[in-house]
Structures are given as structure tokens and as C-alpha cells.
Amino acid sequence: MIINHPILGPRDSQEFTYLGDATLIDRPDWEADDAAGQFHDYLYLRDNPAGEHRELWFHEQGDRSWLVVTRNTVTHEILNVELARDVARARGRSK
Amino acid sequence: MRYSGLKVIKEALTGHKGWRPTWRDPEPKKSYDVVIIGGGGHGLATAYYLAKNHGITNVAVIEKGWIGGGNVGRNTTIIRSNYLLDGNEPFYELSLKLWEGLEQDFNYNAMVSQRGILNLVHTDAQRDAARRRGNAMILNGSDAELLDTDGVRAMYPFLNFNNARFPIKGGLLHRRGGTVRHDAVAWGYARGADLRGVDIIQNCEVTGFKIENGKCLGVETTKGFIGANKVASCVAGSSSRVMEKAGMRLPIESHVLQAFVSEGLKPVLDGVITFGAGHFYCSQSDKGGLVFGGDLDMYNSYAQRGNLPVVEDVIEGGMALIPALGRVRMLRSWGGIMDMSMDGSPFIDKTHVDGLYFNGGWCYGGFKATPASGWCYAHLLATDTPHKVATEYRLDRFRKGRMIDEKGQGAQPNLH
């Protein structure tokens, strides 16, 4: 698979390590009343779709940026690549 | 279909025109006591033990493709009972004991071959870990022997003992482990279940569950609605896709694992060797092909095929361990889809829906678990209590902090 890095251009997926579902960006509020339940769902449960999947890849052998890659899990086709930093900021995180 | 020596002779003399299909191909009835979703090894074994151990024969196994066409036909056929943790090892030891008597039990040749499994070690730390695991295995009734370098050399003199990075310093030998003819496992269980009255319904995909007031009343399928007192999902690899139809999110990711087979060779490797440090394991099939594999591709996938970087990684591991492999030609490679769970261990449990049961999360250890998985799932379905060796395989174990994490990797499914 070739991942089209937003800054570096097309890179071999071998340069990356894979973390998993991009919902891991949305860390629950630890002060919420039901924080224990929210963290259980956040840490252990996954949608695991067959089809489009937004997921976190780390450019370990490159510029060490985190990417959000949208990829089809049935065909392995990569549909979109964003910097995870931009995705997180768009959601009001890490200002 | 029943077989006998007399029948073989008669058919040989009459042009083999009298053989009939080994199991029936029935249309689904309106309802069953138990509907098992998934006609793989585990689903068929569940049906077989429901009928044989518990006398429950009003059972259907529904399969979206053909039976044995999923992971029971796509694995590397290894059976073993070499786990460390108390939640796991008694279960896998039951499984290995069932493998040992399986062919006599279902009267079908599954070519169970206890040729031994050797896990190589390369460092003092790995030897300590192997000794600890070996002791845990022995405590649970399994067998283990710690070999030194000479012990390994006597078994497999052709290995590369002086690899600069991973010199072979010994290994943990599990003599009762081995290999099985995987397709025959599905066929043997299917035949045994069919003879006892179980309906095996192929080319019938589940499209939804009928759930009213928290009770599962049956399944919607491509062949219409089928009612059931109990519905048992058994579709490892596709668990998330199926259970989503019942409104469940699971602690599972689906990943692809590749396997490979070489051209046929003369007998060279009489056991199974695992080279965990190099992401490689290998055995030789009775036809002569070297059957080997390595690590996951590491990313979520439902594709049943992997990519070239892992092919390269596996072959590099193989070359590092067995340099003679360099002249062997590859014949086939394929991929299977694994339910990778959050702690690397499986589930055999009820769900929050009354009458709906779940079996899955087998990671890449599903094949060796087939008999015990069917045995324990049938026990759960028949008695509504978990079998004593499967009490830890609960869906709520993450909420309760009772993970069964053999490798200590945490909630990172691709590392288990």
C-alpha cells in the first residue's frame, strides 16, 4: 500500500506503524460522572467496519507524524490521508 | 453417508457410481431449538457436541458460503496445548485431549499427527520464559521439555544455529502438539452432526436478528426467517459484522494473517518449528509442501489477502532459520481474516440479548481450539452455564479487569 503523505507525498506503508481506529483521538473526559464506562468503551470496543475505516498510522521511519488514513478494509484502497494534528485541532483538541 | 470396507470393494468393482454426498442438503425448517450461525469448524463441532453430548438434535447450522470454506480451510493446521495462563491452558489441554480421540469419536480420518512442536529460544530471558511456560503446561496436565542447543541440533541439524542476531540456544518442545488435516475436521464434524439429525444449510446468509423485548426469536436469512429458541453466533473473522446486526460493538478488530506453501519436497521436517523472534513458523505437510507463516499484516482488513511487505518479512525469517529454503519454490500464499481480541483470548458467552450467544475472538489460535470450542459452546447452549474450563471467556472481562493477556500487550489487538 502507498500512503499519500500530506507533506512528504507518496510513501510506502512499510515506513509506518499502525495503531488502529481513529476514534482513539477522542479521549473521554476523565472528570465525567460515567468516566469509567466511557474509558472502557474508548479503550476496548471497536466498530471494526468492513468498508471505509478511519485509522491512525505513525510515520515511524519518516517524519514521525501521526496520520489519519481513510482506507477501505475490503479492498485496501486508500481514500484520504490527513495529518492527525489537523483532525484533532478541527475537533477542538490540542489548541 | 456411512463407510465400510465392503462398500469400498463394491464401489471399486462397479465404477464408483454408488457414492452419495456425505451430508444432506435440506431446506430450512420454520424453527429449531438451536440455530448456529457459521458452518466452520467451531460451528460444526458445536452442532456435533450438542447432538452427541446433550441429545439436542433439532439444530440448524447456517453458512453463507460452503461449510469449511472459511478459516478452517485457510489455517496452517497446527494443534497444541502450550499456553501459560490459568484462564487458557486447561481449555487448550481439553482441546488437545479431544484431538487425540477425535478420529475414533467421529469415525472419520482427520490425519491427526502428534509430531511435536518446538518453540526456539535465543536468549537467557527467553529460556526463563520458556521454562516458566513449560511448568505451567505440566501443571495443567500438558507436556513440555526444555531442550538445550545440542538437543535442538539432534532434532534439526540443518537449522542455522549461529545466526548473528538470533543464535539458537535451545527450545521448548511440546511432543503432543502436531498437525491435522484441516478440511477433514470440518467434514468429519459435519458428517457426525448430519447423521444425528442436524440440518446443515449452506449458501444461506444471515441478514438480521429478530429481537423483541430483549429476547432473540430467530434470524432473518437469504432463505427467509428461521425461528429459534437459541441463536448461537460462531463466525470468527466476521464477528463484528454479524453482531452489529444485533446492536453489539465487540472488543475485536479483524486482521489478515497470511500463510504459504512451497512445492512438494521429500521428507525434511518431521515436526513443527516456531521461530517467534524472526516471525516465522514451519511444518511439512504429508504431501511434502512446507507450510509456513509469520506475523499479521498489522492493519484492519476483511480482504482475505495480504500485501508483499509481510511476504518479504516471513521469507526473510525463514531464510535466517533454514538457509536451505533459498532453493525452494513457493507454490501458494493466501490470507485468512482473524477476530483479533483486545487481550488475545477468545469469547464463549451469553450476550445481553436473551437467547443470543456469542463465540469468537479466536485471534490466530482458532483451529487448535476447534474441539474444545464446540464442546464448551454446546455445554453453554444446553445448560446456560459455562463449561468449567471456559469460565474466563466472558465478554465483560475488560469491564471487570479480568483480561487473559498471554503476551502482556494490552488493548492493541495486532500485537497479540
Mean pLDDT of A8-33: 96
Q: To the nearest 10°, report the CA torsion of B83, B88, B89, B90.
A: -170
Domain contains B383: yes
Domain that holds residue A59: 2-26+34-90
Q: How confident is the model at residue A92 (pLDDT cuts 50, 70, 90)?
A: confident
**How far is the C-alpha of B123 from the C-alpha of B343, rounded, in Å?**
26
The total number of structural domains that make up chain B: 2
pLDDT value of position B25: 96
Regarding whether B367 and B303 lie in a shared domain, the answer is: no
DSSP character string of B56-95: ---EEEE-SS-TT-SGGGSS--EE-----STTTHHHHHHH
pLDDT value of position B268: 94
> In chain B, what percentage of residues exceed pLDDT 90?
99
**Cβ atoms of B379 and B350 closer than 8 Å:** no
Of B341, B357, B389, the residue at which a domain comes to its end is B341
pLDDT value of position B2: 76
> Is B299–A41 a contact, with Cβ atoms under 8 angstroms apart?
no
**How far is the C-alpha of B166 from the C-alpha of B320, rounded, in Å?**
9
Domain contains B49: yes
pLDDT digits (tens, 9 = 90+) for B81-127: 999 999 999 999 999 999 999 999 999 999 999 999 999 999 999 99
Regarding whether B395 and B257 lie in a shared domain, the answer is: no
pLDDT digits (tens, 9 = 90+) for B161-173: 999 999 999 999 9
Domain contains A40: yes
> Is B411–A13 a contact, with Cβ atoms under 8 angstroms apart?
no
Of B341, B357, B392, the residue at which a domain comes to its end is B341
Cα B314–Cα B320–Cα B323 angle in degrees, nearest 5: 110
Regarding whether B330 and B263 lie in a shared domain, the answer is: yes
pLDDT at A95 over 80: no
> In chain B, what percentage of residues exceed pLDDT 70?
100
Regarding whether B335 and B194 lie in a shared domain, the answer is: no
Regarding whether B305 and B232 lie in a shared domain, the answer is: no
Domain that holds residue B321: 111-178+253-341
Q: How confident is the model at residue A35 (pLDDT cuts 50, 70, 90)?
A: very high
Q: How confident is the model at residue A93 (pLDDT cuts 50, 70, 90)?
A: confident
Among A24, A39, A44, the residue to mutate for chain B (most B Cβ within 10 A): A44
CB atoms within 10 A of CB B406: 18
**Cβ atoms of B48 and B59 closer than 8 Å:** no
Regarding whether B351 and B401 lie in a shared domain, the answer is: yes
DSSP character string of B261-317: EEEE-SS---SEEEEGGGTEEEEE-TTSEEEEEEEEEEEE--SS---HHHHHHHHHH
Domain contains A52: yes
pLDDT at A64 over 90: yes
User: CATH no. for residue A86?
Assistant: 3.30.2270.10
CA distance A74 to chain B (A): 5
Cα A25–Cα A27–Cα A31 angle in degrees, nearest 5: 160
Regarding whether B336 and B257 lie in a shared domain, the answer is: yes
Regarding whether B262 and B172 lie in a shared domain, the answer is: yes
Mean pLDDT of B51-71: 97
Write the residue in A12, A19, A40 that is nearest to B398 by C-beta: A40
User: CATH no. for residue B218?
Assistant: 3.50.50.60
Regarding whether B347 and B337 lie in a shared domain, the answer is: no
> Is B300–A73 a contact, with Cβ atoms under 8 angstroms apart?
yes
**How far is the C-alpha of B26 from the C-alpha of B127, rounded, in Å?**
54
**How far is the C-alpha of B321 from the C-alpha of B306, rounded, in Å?**
23
Mean pLDDT of B340-368: 97
User: CATH no. for residue B166?
Assistant: 3.30.9.10
**Cβ atoms of B182 and B73 closer than 8 Å:** yes
Regarding whether B237 and B267 lie in a shared domain, the answer is: no
Mean pLDDT of A34-42: 97
pLDDT value of position B3: 84
Domain contains A95: no
Q: What 3-state class would DSSP assign to B382?
A: helix
CA distance A34 to chain B (A): 13
Regarding whether B261 and B128 lie in a shared domain, the answer is: yes
Regarding whether B280 and B138 lie in a shared domain, the answer is: yes
Average pLDDT score over chain B? 96
Domain contains B93: no
ipTM of the complex: 0.96
> Which residues have C-beta within 8 Å of that of residue B78, sequence separation ≥ 6?
B117, B177, B178, B179, B272, B281, B283, B367, B368
pLDDT digits (tens, 9 = 90+) for B187-212: 999 999 999 999 999 999 999 999 99
Q: How confident is the model at residue B72 (pLDDT cuts 50, 70, 90)?
A: very high
Q: Which helix (H) or strand (E) holds B101?
A: helix B89-106
pLDDT value of position B389: 98
The total number of structural domains that make up chain A: 1
pLDDT digits (tens, 9 = 90+) for B19-45: 999 999 999 999 999 999 999 999 999
pLDDT digits (tens, 9 = 90+) for B395-416: 999 999 999 999 999 999 999 9
Pairing label, strands B170-174, B330-341: unpaired
Domain contains B19: no
